[in-house]
Structure formats: structure tokens, C-alpha cells
Amino acid sequence: MDVLIAVILAAGLTYAPKWGIELFDSVDSLTIVLSARMWVAPALTLLGMLCATTAFVFSAIDRPEFVPLRKSKSESQLWMVFSEAILWLSFAALFAIFLSLIDPDQIGLLLRAVSLSILFLVSIAVMKFAWVMRQIISVRVAQSAEK
């Protein structure tokens, strides 16, 4: 579902100039390549932080404080959200590396649409990850308040 939403949003923004809506028509290919070069390090840093957080949650989930989380039906969704965030952020980092290495004149409409789709996918995955982490923290806060 996330992929479909990202593709629809990217297609709408990509074809907006053809419909008379000026959004990204003024962005040139060199700007896309330069911004891809700037986003490689932050994407890899965020990926490392997501992996570390997932590893920490994976190791802490067996603690007694997280029994309600383990007993809930949403534990499988928790791991799915974590793995999706890691997958899409990895893909975004690799795509940014790819974009930073190609000739700016080779960037066409399709490559712009793909980069927008990846941007939306990463945004959705990071928002879901943040929401799940907030839920995990709220379980711990609620237990602390009971003591």
C-alpha cells in the first residue's frame, strides 16, 4: 500500500507541469545530482540509527516490561515496520549513490519520478517507525507511572 501511495504522489508531482501546475519544472538535473550527493551521508547515518534502534528493541523485547507488547497481536507489525524502514532507507541510500555518480544530462522524467517515489517511501517508513517507537516508549512510561 505504501508503494502505491508513493508512486501515485510521485506521478502526480512529476506530471503536474504537463497539467499546467508549475512545481518541479524549474529543478534542473544538476541540482538533483548535487542534492543526491549531499543526501548519501545523512541517509546512511539514519540507516545506522534505525539498525541500532531495531537491534536494541530486539534485545530488550524479552524483558518483563515488554510482556504486554509481546502478547499483543501487533508484535509482528512492529517487526514489519522496522524491516520496511531499514529496507527503504537502504534502497534510498543506494539510489542516492547511483544518482550522484551519473551524468546530470542523463536524468530524465522517469528518473525524477523514481526519486520522488523513493522520497515518499522513505518518508512514510520513517513516520511509521517513529509512531511505533512512540508506542513502545508509551508502554514503558505507563509502567513507570504505575510504580
pLDDT digits (tens, 9 = 90+) for 71-104: 777 777 888 888 888 888 888 888 888 877 877 7
CB 129 within 8 Å of CB 82: yes
* Phi, psi (rounded to 5 degrees) for 116: -65, -40
Q: Give the integer Cα–Cα distance in Å for 132 and 79.
A: 10
So what's the pLDDT on residue 71? 75
Question: Residue 134: which pLDDT band, with cuts at 50, 70 and 90?
Answer: confident
Q: What is the pLDDT of residue 18?
A: 61
End-to-end CA distance of the chain: 41
Q: Above 70 in pLDDT, residue 105?
A: yes
pLDDT per residue as tens digits for the range 4-31: 777 777 777 666 666 555 555 555 666 7
> What pLDDT score does 57 carry?
81
> For 1, which DSSP code?
-
What whole-number distance in Å separates Cα of residue 115 and Cα of residue 104? Answer: 14
Coil, strand or helix at 11: helix
* Three-class SS of 49-65: HHHHHHHHHHHHCCCHH
Which DSSP string do the residues of 12-28 spell out, in sequence order?
Answer: HHHSGGGGT--SSTT--
Task: Please report the pLDDT score of residue 119 as a whole number.
Answer: 83
pLDDT digits (tens, 9 = 90+) for 25-66: 555 666 767 777 777 778 888 888 888 888 888 887 788 777
